[in-house]
Structure 1
Amino acid sequence: MPQEKTDLLGRRHFLRRCGMGFGALGLADLLAAGQSVGEPFFPGRAKRVIHFFLNGGPSHVDTFDPKPALQKHAGKELPRGNLRTERKTGAAFPSPFEFHRHGQSGIEVSSLFPGVAEHMDEIAVVRSMKAKLPNHEPSLMLMNCGDAILSRPSVGSWVTYGLGSENANLPSFIAMSPGGHPIKGAHNWQAGFLPGAFQGTFVDSKHEQVEKLIEHIRNAGQSRSGQRAQLDFLQLLNRGHLDARGGSDDQLRARIQSFELAYRMQLDATDAFDLDREPAYMRDLYGRGVHGRQTLIARRLLERGVRYVQLWHGSGQPWDNHDKIEENHRRLAGELDRPVAALLTDLKQRGMLEDTLVVFGGEFGRTPTVELTGAGKSRLGRDHNPYGFTVWMAGGGIRGGTVYGATDEFGFEAVEKVTEAHDLHATILHLLGFDHEKFTYRYAGRDFRLTDVAGEVMREILA
C-alpha cells in the first residue's frame, strides 16, 4: 500500500512551530503535506542523515580498499586482463599511499584519511559497491535517485516525504556544495514526481556571511510585520486559486509552502548558518576551511531538525582524477579528513551519532590500472570504474568495525556480496524505519519505490 501523507497539523501546534501570525491560520492544511512529522513503519535507529558525496569518483584502491597485489604486478599487465572502461588503461598501478590497520577491528585505511581512521570501530565499510555505467551523469542519478536514466525523486526527497519535518522554519532537505553545482546540478536533489515541497534546497557554502550563503535572507526594505501582512494577502489569493482547482495542484501547494518557508527562514536559518555562535575550539576542531565550515553548519542544521543534509565536495567533479592522482587525491582528502573526523567525534560527544546516519562515498570508483594518453603513455591517474568501489556508513544503527563484501585481488570488480545502489538505499530506509518494498508513492497509476523492483537490506552491517 502506498504511504500517504494525510495527517494535518493542528492550528495551535502549527502556530507554535512556525511562529506565524493569525493571518496564516488558513494555510495549515496547505502546508501539512510538506511539513508534518511522518510516521515510519517501525522504530528506526536513525532520525536524520548526513551524506558526504565525493563527486567525481574517489579511488577505492587509494582510500579504503587495500590491494597489495597491485604492488606485486606493478608496471605489468593484470593476469585477468583489463575490464572495459571509458578510456584506455594499461598496467597495474599500485597505490602511492600506505595502508595501516586501525582500532580493535583492524580495518585497513590509507594514509590519506588519518582522522577518519581513528573512528573505524564506528564505521562499516562496504567494499563491494557496483554501478551500471562508467559515466558521471547516469552514475550520479543512480546513486542519488535510484535510476540512471529516468527522472526520479532523490533519496533526500524520499526521506523527507517519509519522515516529514521536525522544524517548519527550515527546509527538511539541504544540499551544500562550495563554488556551485556538481554535474547534473539540481537533478541530484530533485523531488521528481513527489510534491515540490520535498525537493532539496541548495546552498553555495563557499561564502561565510549568512547574507551570501542564503540570498535575500533579509529584507532591508520592509519590516517583518509588513512582510507578514503582504504574504498573508498573497497567500489568500493563492488559496483561492488552489480551491478553484479542487485543492489538488501540487505545484501550487509547493509554491505556497516555499513562500512561507522563505519568510520563516529569516530567523532560524540566520541562526543555523551563523558560525560565530560556535566557540573557537569547535571551529578549530572542524577546521577553518570551507569543508570545515560546511560540515559544522551541517551539524547545526541536524540539531535543528533538518532531516537530510548532503555535502558535496565542490562544483563540477573534483574527485575525477584522470591524471596526477597522488597529488590530487592527497589535496582533496586533506580538505575532507579533518571535518569528517571532527563530525564523528562531535556527534558522539553530543549523543547524536546513535541516531544520525553518516554516509560517505562517490558515484563510482577508479581503475586499478593506470590511465593512458592517446600516445599510450601513463597519465599517473585512473579512469572511471563502475565495476567495484567503496562506500562507508557510521552511526544510526550501523555495526561499526565491519567490512562488507569485497572486490577481486586487484580491486577491479566487486566479487563478494555485490552491492548496488538499490541495496544501499534499502539499507538507509531500513535504518530510518521504512520497509523499502512497502514505502511507495502513487504516480501515473503505479506505486513507485526508491528501490524500484530491487534492493536488499545489508543486514550484516546493522547493529
Structure 2
Amino acid sequence: MSMFDDLLAAHTRRYFFGKMAHGLGTAALASLLAHDSQADDAAKVAAANELVSLGALKSLHHAPKAKRVIWLFMADAPSQLDLFDYKPKLADFFDKDLPESIRQGQRITTMTSGQSRLPVAPSTFKFAQHGKNGTWLSELLPKLGEVVDDIAIIKTMNTEAINHDPAITYIQTGSQIPGRPSMGAWSSYGLGSENQDLPAYVVLHSKLAPGSSSQALFSRLWGSGFLPTKHQGVALRSSGDPVLYLSNPGGVSKETRRKMLDGLAELNQQKYEAVGDPEITSRIAQYEMAYRMQSSVPELVDVSKETQETLDLYGPEVKEPGTFAYNCLLARRLAERGVRFTQVFLRGWDHHNNLPKQIPLLCKSMDQPAAGLLKDLKQRGMLEDTLVVWGGEFGRTVYSQGTLTKENHGRDHHPRCFTMWMAGAGVKPGVVHGETDDFSYNVVDKPVHIHDLNATILHLMGVNHEQLTYRFQGRDFRLTDVEGHVVKEILT
C-alpha cells in the first residue's frame, strides 16, 4: 500500500468512527482475552435474573419461557396430507380433478403447470387417533403418537414462497432474498450465549435416508447476514474433526497454539486501531472460540457415557455419527451445555414422485429420534425451558404430480397450508391449532404465517420481535420484517 493509500484510508468514514470507538474496541479485546472468569460471572448473573441478557439486548423484554431452542428442520417439505392433516373425505375424490373452487386460481409450479389435469391423490396411509384428545396421526408416526400429548400441532402454516430456495430462505431469515441474518444468528446477537466454550448457534446436518434425493442447503441459511460474523451458525461435521481445522497440526502443541493466538490478537488489535473495522474484534472472538472448542467439542460428541436406556430412546442409529438419531441426541447434549439455538436438518422430503415408497423411509429415520428427544428432555426436566420446533419450508399438494395410480403418485410444492409442531417451554401441550379445507389446500380457520411462527419463537425466548433490530444501510431490520403476530392461542 502506498503512502497515499494510507492517507486515504485514514480519512475514511469507517476509520473516523473506528477511532471514536477506540476505547470501546480496546475494552472489547481485553474482555475477550480475559473471558473465562468474566463470562462465568455474567452467566451466573443471568441465571439469577431471568431478564438479564448476555447479548445486544442487555435486558429481555419479558420473562422467557424458553432458555434454548432446538429446531428439527425437515428440509424439502414433508407432506402434511400423509402425516398430520387427516382428510378421510378425499377417498371419494380419487383421480378426480381438483375443483377450481378449491384452487381459486392459485399459481402452481412449472413442474405441474403443463399437466392437462390435477388429479386428486388421497393419502395411501392409515390414520389413527392418539393421546387424550384423540389427535389424528399417520401410521408412519407411531412414536410421535406416544408423545402427542406433549406437542402443539399447527395445521395452518402458510407462506408466499412456492419454490424451495426462496421458501427455506424465507422461513430461516424472514426474507425470500438471500443476505439477511438467520433466526439462530438473531438469537445469538440478541441473547448471547451461556456457554463460552461452545457457539451460541450450532447446526447439525443429518445423512439422507437410502434412496432419497434432496435440494442443496447453502451456508447462508445459518449465516449472520449483516450482523457481526461471530453470530453465524457453526456446522458440526459427521466425520473427521467435527469442525474443520479444529485439531492442531502435527508438531503444534496446545501451548504453542495459545502463544500464536495471543500474538495474533495483538496484531489484530493494532489493525483495529488503524482502521476501526468491527469485524476485526469478531475475528478475535472467533479465534478464541475455536481454541476453547478444541476441548469442548470432542467431549460434546462423545456419547459413549450415555446410558443404554437413553440411547434406546433415540433408536438403533443413535451411535452412528451423522444420522438424525445421533444428531437429536447431540442436540440434547448441546442444550444441556447452554447452547442457545440448535438446528438439526433432515433432508429428503422432496417427493415429487414415488411418495408412497419414499416417505416411509424418511419417517423411519425421523419418528423415533424426534419422539425420543422429547422424552429425554422431559425426563431430565429440560422440556419445561427448551423449545422444540418441527417442520419444513412449505407443504405438499393434494393433487398428483405426474401419473396417478393407487400404488404410486407424487406431490408438488404447496405453500398455502402445511403442518408444523412445537413442544416444550411455554407451549400448550396436546392441542391442534387451526383447520384446513377438505382438500388440505386452503386455511379455513386460524392461519399462521411463517412470520407469526418466528415472532412466537422469539416471544417464548423473552424477546419482542418488533424490538430486536439492527440498523443496516440506513434502515432498522428485524427477523419478521414489518409483519408477524405472536400465536397466543398455543401458549400457556
TM-score normalised by length of structure 1: 0.88
Quote the residue 1:14 is aligned against.
35
The answer to whether the 8 Å contact 2:355/2:410 transfers is: yes
Task: Report the Cα offset of residue 354 of structure 1.
Answer: 0.5
Question: In structure 2, what is the Cα distance between the partners aligned to 1:196 and 1:38?
Answer: 19
Task: Report the Cα offset of residue 187 of structure 1.
Answer: 1.4
Counterpart amino acid of residue 149 in structure 2: D
Q: Can you list the C-alpha shifts for 1:334-389, whole angstroms capped at 9, x where unaligned?
A: 1011111110000001110011000000000000111125x999961111111110
CA distance 1:215–1:13, shift in 2 (3 Å)? closer
Quote the residue 1:306 is aligned against.
339
Q: Can you list the C-alpha shifts for 1:59-107, whole angstroms capped at 9, x where unaligned?
A: 0011111111211211212333544321326221111111111111221
Quick check: 1:242 aligned with 2:275?
A: no
Quick check: 1:55 aligned with 2:75?
A: yes
Quick check: 1:69 aligned with 2:55?
A: no
Q: Report the structure number with the largest CA radius of gyration.
A: 2
The answer to whether the 8 Å contact 2:54/2:191 transfers is: no
The size of the alignment, in residue pairs, is 436
Question: In structure 2, what is the Cα distance between the partners aligned to 1:13 and 1:44?
Answer: 29
Quote the residue 1:400 is aligned against.
429
Task: Report the Cα offset of residue 156 of structure 1.
Answer: 0.5
Quote the residue 1:218 is aligned against.
247
CA distance 1:405–1:294, shift in 2 (3 Å)? same
Counterpart amino acid of residue 428 in structure 1: I
Where do 1:11-160 residues align within 5 Å?
14-16=35-37, 38-79=58-99, 80=101, 82=103, 83-86=106-109, 87-88=111-112, 90-160=118-188
For the residue of structure 2 that corresponds to 1:109, the secondary structure is strand
Counterpart amino acid of residue 170 in structure 2: L
Quote the residue 2:440 is aligned against.
411
The answer to whether the 8 Å contact 2:203/2:342 transfers is: yes
CA distance 1:376–1:60, shift in 2 (3 Å)? closer
Quote the residue 2:7 is aligned against.
none
Question: In structure 1, what is the Cα distance between the partners aligned to 2:219 and 2:190?
Answer: 21
Q: Can you list the C-alpha shifts for 1:302-352, whole angstroms capped at 9, x where unaligned?
A: 1111111100114xxx10001111111100011011111110000001110
Quote the residue 2:261 is aligned against.
231
Question: In structure 1, what is the Cα distance between the partners aligned to 2:71 and 2:363?
Answer: 16
Q: Can you list the C-alpha shifts for 1:117-144, whole angstroms capped at 9, x where unaligned?
A: 1111111111111111210010001110
What is the root-mean-square deviation of aligned Cα atoms in Å? 2.6
Task: Report the Cα offset of residue 38 of structure 1.
Answer: 4.8
Quote the residue 1:450 is aligned against.
479
Matching residue within 224, 227, 231 for 1:194: 227
The answer to whether the 8 Å contact 2:459/2:465 transfers is: yes
The answer to whether the 8 Å contact 2:314/2:373 transfers is: yes
Question: In structure 2, what is the Cα distance between the partners aligned to 1:218 and 1:434?
Answer: 37
For the residue of structure 1 that corresponds to 2:251, the secondary structure is coil
The answer to whether the 8 Å contact 2:32/2:288 transfers is: no
Quote the residue 2:383 is aligned against.
353
Question: In structure 1, what is the Cα distance between the partners aligned to 2:405 and 2:86?
Answer: 27
For the residue of structure 2 that corresponds to 1:108, the secondary structure is strand
TM-score normalised by length of structure 2: 0.83
Quick check: 1:170 aligned with 2:198?
A: yes
CA distance 1:251–1:321, shift in 2 (3 Å)? same
The answer to whether the 8 Å contact 2:436/2:444 transfers is: yes
Task: Report the Cα offset of residue 281 of structure 1.
Answer: 2.8
For the residue of structure 1 that corresponds to 2:420, the secondary structure is strand
Task: Report the Cα offset of residue 150 of structure 1.
Answer: 4.6
Question: In structure 1, what is the Cα distance between the partners aligned to 2:288 and 2:58?
Answer: 20
Question: In structure 2, what is the Cα distance between the partners aligned to 1:435 and 1:284?
Answer: 39
- Structure 1: unaligned runs, 5 residues or longer: 20-32
Question: In structure 2, what is the Cα distance between the partners aligned to 1:280 and 1:453?
Answer: 48
Question: In structure 1, what is the Cα distance between the partners aligned to 2:452 and 2:334?
Answer: 27
The answer to whether the 8 Å contact 2:180/2:225 transfers is: yes
The answer to whether the 8 Å contact 1:161/1:198 transfers is: yes
For the residue of structure 2 that corresponds to 1:225, the secondary structure is helix
Question: In structure 2, what is the Cα distance between the partners aligned to 1:324 and 1:188?
Answer: 28
Question: In structure 1, what is the Cα distance between the partners aligned to 2:31 and 2:199?
Answer: 20
CA distance 1:260–1:107, shift in 2 (3 Å)? same
Question: In structure 1, what is the Cα distance between the partners aligned to 2:58 and 2:230?
Answer: 14
Matching residue within 383, 399, 423 for 2:412: 383
Quote the residue 1:369 is aligned against.
399
